[in-house]
Amino acid sequence: MEDIIPFKTMRKLLGEAISDNLKPLLDSPDLILEHITEFLLFVLSITECKHTRAVVAALRKIYFFPQLLSLYFYDNKSPLPADPEDLVETIRNLFSITEYDSLSYLSEYRTKLKEFYHFDQILLLYFNLPPQEQKEPLHLLCKSYHQIYDNYSL
């Protein structure tokens, strides 16, 4: 009778065999052979961070590396200008934000800005919102509520 290898053991052995045959990642994406880059179906100089996961997953089918080297990223973006008037023409009309209703599109505006610029958050100069109405402070509202309630409980 044949010995049956348990599934977990077989998976571990296969994983080790595959890992042992992976090549170390080359120091530059330019050194990767053309037939491999054609197989990958994307340009190796990553221009948008959102593509990093897919690139890493594909490269790990062929290469071993703990972290993708910085040479695999191409960054042609500049810092976000301090003045919205200095934005590229295609998105300049989105700023300055002057209406509160426009804030519901802020995520989309941020995505469009990220296509051209580096930034952590949109600068305050990109907003020109009117002051919000001042509502009655909470402690006054509570006091009014208690006065009304007290009048009815008499």
Strand, coil or helix: 19: helix
- For 52-94, the pLDDT digits (tens) are 888 888 888 888 898 888 888 887 788 999 999 999 999 999 9
pTM of the model: 0.52
pLDDT at 118 over 50: yes
Share of the chain above pLDDT 90, in %: 19
Domain boundary assignment for the chain? 7-72, 77-154
pLDDT-derived band of residue 150, with 50, 70 and 90 as boundaries?
Answer: low
Residue with tokens 């934000």, as numbered in its chain:
97
User: Between 50 and 117, where is the model more confident?
Assistant: 117
- Report the relative pairing of strands 117-118 and 78-79 from DSSP bridges: parallel
